[in-house]
């Protein structure tokens, strides 16, 4: 059974969905992939409304304009969302009476970048790592092979005539611009920053466990993904294990990029439930 949720627009990229009967300081942070449509986002909103109907959902969307902003500007855009996280952390969880449960669920590198910028912004403001219930990585994070990144960017663009005609050129220019900035030392490499930040104890700590608590991360992936190499995800999971994280990894058969829920809703739901209720 789902409950109605009232959206509050925080910025052009972020909205907070509040249940009609919120009873918790817990929070779901949903960081969607580049150009994700509302009809697809709605399926994941419904999933969390089913699993934990009294928990607010902070939706952070991403698009081409998001990832082409300089990193400092990206973090400034995160300030309204960061305020929501800080407000959540100021109260106890209604389910345990302990520290609130905050779960970050990322999709592809677009969503992983949103999560990364949120974690960086929290560290800059508080000087602390963000205490999390867990991180869920759906279809990512990728290492950033050029042509896969190119196809991902093309698919995220608007379907207007102008983008159909010039989208390929725009995608190449963006990727070359991002690569040049990294080579010149202006900014860290996009994919490296994401993969490192998500597993860094400087930016993530276990909920209620302090710096020495065991951090938790779950990977949802499939070999049918044509935009992200599944080996990149498995490698990241292995790195997490080596760093002492509690790691879950679920392979989905027959599903493409960010399409695992559609192909096997039961398995996906139980994978998310296990992380949330752990």
Is the pLDDT at 23 greater than 50, yes or no? yes
Asked whether the predicted pLDDT for residue 211 surpasses 80, the reply is no
Q: Is the peptide bond before 141 cis (omega within 30 degrees of 0)?
A: yes
Q: Where are the beta strands (DSSP E) in the chain?
A: 5-9, 14-19, 27-34, 57-62, 102-107, 130-132, 134-138, 204-206, 216-221, 246-251
Average of per-residue pLDDT across 22-33 = 91
Tokens of 157: 């663009």
Q: Which CATH class is domain 5-143+189-277?
A: alpha beta
What is d(CA 198, CA 74) in angstroms, rounded to the nearest whole number?
A: 16
pLDDT tens digits for 96-116?
A: 567 899 999 999 999 999 999
Q: 86: closest CA among 104, 102, 97?
A: 102
Q: Provide DSSP, 214-275.
A: PPEEEEEE-TT-SSS-HHHHHHHHHHHHHTT-EEEEEE-SS--TT-HHHH-HHHHHHHHHHH
Count CB-CB contacts under 10 A for residue 146: 11
Q: Which of 106-120, 198-212, 217-231, 245-259 has the lowest mean pLDDT?
A: 198-212
Q: Domains of the chain: which residue ranges?
A: 5-143+189-277
pLDDT at 101: 94
Nearest to 30, CA basis, from 277, 272, 274: 272
1 pLDDT tier (thresholds 50, 70, 90): very low
Per-residue model confidence (pLDDT) at position 93: 59
Q: Report the predicted TM-score, pTM, of the whole model to 2 decimal places.
A: 0.90
pLDDT at 31 exceeding the cut of 60 = yes
Identify the CA nearest to 60 among candidates 104, 13, 10: 13
């Amino acid at each position: 059974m789902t409950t109605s949720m009232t959206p509050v627009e925080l910025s052009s990229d972020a909205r907070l969905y509040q249940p009609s009967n919120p009873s918790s300081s817990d929070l779901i942070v949903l960081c969607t992939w580049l150009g994700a449509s509302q009809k697809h986002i709605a399926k994941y909103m419904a999933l969390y409304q089913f699993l934990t109907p009294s928990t607010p959902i902070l939706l952070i969307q991403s698009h081409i304009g998001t990832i082409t902003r300089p990193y400092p500007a990206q973090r400034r855009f995160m300030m309204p969302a960061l305020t929501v996280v800080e407000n959540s952390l100021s109260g106890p969880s209604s389910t345990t009476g302990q520290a609130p449960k905050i779960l970050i669920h990322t999709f592809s590198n677009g969503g992983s970048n949103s999560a990364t910028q949120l974690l960086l912004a929290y560290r800059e403001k508080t000087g602390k790592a963000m205490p999390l219930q867990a991180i869920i990585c759906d279809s990512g994070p990728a290492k950033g092979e050029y042509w896969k990144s190119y196809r991902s960017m093309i698919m995220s663009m608007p379907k207007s005539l102008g983008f159909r005609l010039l989208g390929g050129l725009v995608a190449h220019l963006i990727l070359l611009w991002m690569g040049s900035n990294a080579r010149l030392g202006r900014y860290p490499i996009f994919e490296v920053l994401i993969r490192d930040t998500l597993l860094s104890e400087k930016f993530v700590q276990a909920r209620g466990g302090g710096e020495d608590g065991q951090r938790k991360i779950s990977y949802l992936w499939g070999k049918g993904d044509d935009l992200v190499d599944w080996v990149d995800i498995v490698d990241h999971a292995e790195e997490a294990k080596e760093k002492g994280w509690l790691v879950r990894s679920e392979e989905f058969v027959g599903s493409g990029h960010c399409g695992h829920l559609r192909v096997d809703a039961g398995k996906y739901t139980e994978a998310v439930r296990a992380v949330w209720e752990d």
